[in-house]
Amino acid sequence: MQLNQATDYSFRIVLYLSSLAPGEIATAKTIAQREEIPMRYLLKTIRSLVKAGIVRSYRGMEGGFALAKNPKDITLLDVVEAVEGPVRINRCLKDHEYCTKHWVKPCPVHRVLGGIQATLIRELGGHNFADLLAR
């Protein structure tokens, strides 16, 4: 029931990139040092953000990373899903095989957890990085 380390790093990566001037790009090395993330691990982790279209990468000399869109349009949920995949707080909400034992309809546990998950998703989706930076 915990976001993993890569997700936490990713929050900080995106937050840092959000603080850059428009057009400015940062190297992996810079980000790693600033945010105290192991360099190699950052390089691996940031790939998910690139693939998800949150971060843009520039190769070669003078290369680096920058946000692919406005911080206002990136939410915590976007980052979580980029790194960990869809938010599912219980197995039975992922694989239906796991649920509905001897209940004809979805069991009460299932339904209530579904509601809680929806709330969680709504909350994560309700915070963008422009707001975060402003606080």
Binding-site ranges for DNA (CB under 7 A): 4-6, 9, 27-29, 38-41, 43-44, 46-47, 50, 57-65, 84, 91
Name the binder of 20 from its own copies, DNA, none, CB < 5-8 A by kind. Answer: none
Shortest distance, CB of residue 32 to DNA, whole angstroms?
9
Q: How many CB atoms lie within 10 A of CB 92?
A: 19
- What are the percentages of helix, strand and coil residues in the chain, rounded to 5? 55, 10, 35
Task: Name the maximum alpha-carbon separation found in the chain.
Answer: 61
Q: Enumerate residues 6+ apart whose C-beta is below 8 A from 1.
A: 89
Shortest distance, CB of residue 118 to DNA, whole angstroms?
22
Residues of this chain that bind its own copies (CB under 8 A): 1-5, 8, 11-12, 15, 34-36, 76, 80, 84, 87-92, 98, 101-102, 107-109, 111-113, 115-116, 119-120, 123-124, 127, 132-133, 135
Residue 117's SS3 state is: helix
Residue 109's SS3 state is: helix
Shortest distance, CB of residue 134 to DNA, whole angstroms?
26
39 vs 109, which CB is nearer to its own copies? 109
Q: How many CB atoms lie within 10 A of CB 55?
A: 23
Name the binder of 111 from its own copies, DNA, none, CB < 5-8 A by kind. Answer: its own copies
